[in-house]
């Protein structure tokens, strides 16, 4: 049986994942406004991935005989000074997600909730990828600073990004 404390933390994370999607939609809108369609696509795909994560929490809570509880979302940051700032904000957000996942893992370990620990391992691995992706793009943007041709090429690369949900889910 999952404790009330762990169930609340799982529900909080479900809602934070939906909020993450909301944040990434705001970033996509900023990129669209800057005529950076590829970067817009990157963040639209990121938002879709976050909704997928949220639904993983939704389904897990149900499987554990819990009750999903939806919460109000905060308004995301909508205005940025640069594309680099967008990705720095995204990295900071992903770092906060990582801390939250680690906190969930700590609660599950403390309560010896082995099924939850096993299930959360997927998110631990996912966060390594999320942070690495954002850091890699930030490095590219730093190298391209002031090079509009390079930004155009990177924008074309970002336009190729797609999301395919893992089949073993």
Q: Is residue 118 one of the residues assigned to a domain?
A: yes
Residue 165 lies in a domain: no
Portion of the chain with pLDDT greater than 70, in percent: 99
CATH code of the domain covering residue 14: 1.20.1260.10
Domain membership flag for residue 11 = yes
- The pLDDT assigned to 118 comes to 97
Hey, what's the torsion of the CAs at 49, 24, 31, 79, to 10 degrees?
Answer: 180
Task: Tell me if 94 is assigned to some domain.
Answer: yes
Q: What are the residues whose beta carbons fall under 8 Å from the beta carbon of 142, sequence distance 6 or more?
A: 84
Could you tell me the pLDDT band of residue 168, with boundaries at 50, 70 and 90? low
Nearest alpha-carbon partner for 28 in 76, 74, 73: 76
First to last CA, the chain: 22
Distance CA 90, CA 68 (A): 26
Whose CA is closest to 28, among 89, 69, 70, 71? Answer: 89
Q: How many CB atoms lie within 10 A of CB 62?
A: 11
Range of the domain at 59: 4-70+78-158
User: How does residue 26 score in pLDDT terms, banded at 50, 70 and 90?
Assistant: very high
Q: How far is CA 156 from the centre of its chain?
A: 22
pLDDT tens digits for 72-129? 999 999 999 999 999 999 999 999 999 999 999 999 999 999 999 999 999 999 999 9
Residue 54 lies in a domain: yes
Say if CB 20 and CB 97 are below 8 A apart.
yes
Q: How many domains does the chain have?
A: 1
- pTM passes above 0.85: yes
Q: In 34-167, which ranges are continuous DSSP H helix?
A: 37-63, 83-110, 114-144, 148-158
């Amino acid at each position: 049986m999952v404790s009330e404390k762990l169930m609340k933390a799982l529900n909080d994370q479900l809602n934070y994942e939906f909020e993450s999607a909301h944040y990434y939609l705001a970033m996509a809108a900023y990129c669209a406004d800057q005529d950076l369609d590829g970067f817009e696509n990157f963040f639209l795909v990121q938002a879709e991935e976050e909704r997928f994560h949220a639904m993983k929490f939704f389904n897990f809570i149900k499987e554990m005989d819990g009750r999903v509880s939806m919460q109000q979302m905060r308004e995301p940051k909508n205005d940025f000074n640069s594309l680099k700032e967008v990705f720095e904000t995204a990295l900071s957000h992903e770092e906060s997600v990582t801390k939250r996942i680690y906190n969930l893992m700590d609660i599950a370990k403390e309560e010896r909730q082995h099924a939850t620990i096993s299930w959360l391992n997927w998110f631990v691995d996912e966060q390594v990828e999320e942070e690495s992706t954002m850091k890699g793009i930030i490095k590219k943007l730093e190298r391209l600073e002031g090079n509009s041709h390079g930004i155009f090429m990177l924008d074309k690369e970002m336009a190729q990004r797609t999301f395919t949900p893992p089949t073993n889910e």
